[in-house]
Amino acid sequence: MVGAVMLYDRLRWEEKELIKAAGSRGLELKPVDVKPLHVSPSPELARSMGPLVLQRCISHYRGLYLSAILEACGVRVVNPFKATHLCGDKLLTSLTLYKAGIPTPRFAVAFTAEAALKAIGGLGMPAVLKPLVGSHGRLVSMVDDISLAKALLEHEEALGDGLHRIHYVQEYVDKPSRDLRVVVVGGRVVAAIYRYAPPGEWRTNVAVGGRAEPCRLSAEAEDLALRACEALSVEVAGVDLMEGGRGLVVNEVNPTVEFKGASQATGVDVAGAIVEYLVEAAKR
């Protein structure tokens, strides 16, 4: 039996499913809560973790820094530091997709509230304000008038965190009341769903009440999802696509993908697919 460590900071449905799937697939998956840890790069740390680690932290920075330290010790991390770094920052994600020629919504970054208002004007309203780092649609706002934009930007500036004073502005993609979530494991699409926004809401995140339904993925959508993962060096991911007037675009790529909605809507054993990928990775 091969072994691996799973780092987490909260045992969600997904992590529990991964543990169950590992037991029936010849993988000894040891869950390790990172919250009590204090780590330094050392041979002892590498030995305690073993050669393969699955990084499943909800906290972007916990996962990012642990991945960096472990890779410095020669430990193989899924997803690697580079992927977490690029996917966890919306600006870096957008830049990487842009550089790779992958369709993505137009975007701008501004370093003051005043400059952000100009960026919104340049992209046109409605526009979308997003924190550079975050998930579940938190602090993501659609702005369709200048007064609302000013109020939201003032709120961001008042939060005090330096990252909140760097304003990421994205064009609003006029799409159906849904987007596509594509789960990719090891360069292969294993599940795809439509996520429908709940009544009175424009965001489609399952965390805000979005409804998941199976999606028969087109060849174009599959190609975009796989190209995005390759560009971002991510091995296990949830790729979010939107259907707009210019065709399909890649919105975001989640390196610590929540797959409960995809598993339940499609009947696909996503946890099993991830574990099987880890088993093969452990043998290499």
* Segment 180-194 mean pLDDT: 98
Helix (H, G, I), strand (E, B) or coil at 250: strand
**How do the domains of the chain map onto residue ranges?**
2-86+277-283, 106-171, 174-268
Listing DSSP states for 91-148 in one string gives: HHHHHHHHHTT-----EEEESSHHHHHHHHHHH-SSEEEE-SS--TTTT-EEE-SHHH
Residues 258-269: tens digit of each pLDDT: 999 999 999 999
Rounded Cα gap, residues 43 and 102, in angstroms = 40
What pTM, to 2 d.p., does this model score?
0.93
Residues 199-232: tens digit of each pLDDT: 877 787 777 778 999 999 999 999 999 999 999 9
Burial code (b: 16+ CB inside 10 Å, e: under 16) for 9-28 equals beeeebbebbbebbeebebe
Is 106-171's fold the same as 174-268's? no
Q: Which CATH class is domain 174-268?
A: alpha beta
Q: What is the pLDDT of residue 179?
A: 95
Q: What is the pLDDT of residue 1?
A: 61
Vertex 273: Cα angle to 267 and 275 (nearest 5): 130
Residues 152-177: tens digit of each pLDDT: 898 888 876 778 889 999 999 998 88
Residues 52-62: tens digit of each pLDDT: 999 999 999 99
Residues 6+ positions from 238 with CB-CB distance below 8 Å: 181, 182, 183, 184, 253, 254, 257, 258, 259, 262
| Domain topology for 106-171 | Dna Ligase; domain 1 (3.30.1490)
Residues 3-59: tens digit of each pLDDT: 999 999 999 999 999 999 999 998 999 999 999 999 999 999 999 999 999 999 999
Q: Which residue has the higher pLDDT, 136 or 76?
A: 76
How confident is the prediction for the chain on average, in pLDDT? 94
CATH 3.40.50.20 fits 2-86+277-283, yes or no: yes
